[in-house]
Amino acid sequence: MKKGPLFLTLDIGGTKCVAALVDAEGTVQVQERRPPRLGRGPDEFLAGLCEMVDRVRVADVVALGIAAPGPLDMQSGSMVDVPNMPGVGVAPVRDTLAAHVKLPVFFENDANCGALAEGRFGAGRGLDDFLFLTLSTGLGGGAVCGGQLLRGTSGNGAEVGHVIVDPRGPRCGCGKVGCLEAFCGGLNLARRVANDSEFPKSSLPRIAGDATFEAKHLFMGGRAGDPLARRYLAEWIEMLARGIADLVFAFDPRRVILGTMAVQSGDLFLDELRRRVLESVWPVHRKHLEIVPAECGERIAVLAPLALAIESRERDGK
């Protein structure tokens, strides 16, 4: 049974998009999950999103919340050459969907939406200062400071995946060299492992089977003791710890909340990650800093755009 008004939600990702009909407490009524239409230009991409929303919609919906990967042009409501989504280009997501559904549409960076969701439904409840890192296909970030989401001048604040952790490192999809996302984003991590000369001799191709090798297969290999997987995971932990420590100095959060990879495989790395981060920050930070897995889990794809829609309506007095 639904509780309160119904919302449409749309989470746009590089490997999957999720549309849902959901009530204000996050109970899903209907859900649709598909890969995005990539490589065929913005019109085809947007048509696919409209079709997904149509499949979950009912008549009595109050708003649509959209969580999209950056960079975003918030003035026009567009995705702009998103690194992990080739062929999409400049896609006017907000206005296209608004014209299609004829509802209030709220559009925001997906990591910012994730921070709102963790603050409302998950590990950020009751906290005024915390960071949320997506740790998924890419590495996005959302920062809540003094109880307010940090959006920045252009709406692209807290793009923490693109801080430089090693200027001699690999090139990121954004064009820069040595970004945190280049080391720790799932897509870049999997590509680097699959291109390693030791990859064919490792157990990782067998673990992936007929599927395209992904970061989740690397964690499975690490769990099984594969040497190549262990080597890359050690580097991944080192770079992630380096990045988080820098963010602690910048934001002084009470809690750092880690998404997908920490939810799925945190037992493999969280203890070591915490140790490295705490060694790198000041004693005044260590007194209060916590590094924890996100609580929204797989539901983040629905709860993130829902939290945006609810927060936006509350801000507008509705």
The CATH number for 167's domain is 3.30.420.40
Average pLDDT over residues 46-58: 97
Check residue 2 and give its pLDDT: 57
SS3 content of the chain, % helix, strand, coil (to 5): 45, 20, 35
- Among 168, 118, 125, 121, which Cα is nearest to 140's? 118
115 lies in some domain: no
Same domain for 155 and 89: no
Phi-psi region for residue 69, left (φ > 0), alpha (ψ -120 to 50) or beta?
beta
The CB-side HSE value for 79 (13 A sphere, CA atoms) comes to 29
Residues contacting 239, CB < 8 A, separation 6+: 165, 166, 169, 180, 183, 184
Same domain for 50 and 128: no
What pLDDT, in 10s, does the model give residues 165-211?
999 999 998 899 999 999 999 999 999 999 999 999 999 999 999 99
- Give the count of domains, the chain: 2
Q: What is the DSSP secondary-structure string of 229-298?
A: HHHHHHHHHHHHHHHHHHHHHHH--SEEEE-HHHHHHGGGTHHHHHHHHHHHS-HHHHTT-EEEE-SSGG
Same domain for 163 and 210: yes
User: pTM score, two decimals?
Assistant: 0.93
Residue 242 confidence (pLDDT) above 70: yes
Same domain for 152 and 67: no
- Among 216, 208, 11, which Cα is nearest to 116's? 11
Q: Could you tell me the residue range of the domain that residue 158 belongs to?
A: 123-295
Residue 301, SS3?
helix
Same domain for 73 and 157: no
Check residue 1 and give its pLDDT: 56
Amino acid identity of residue 66, one-letter, is I
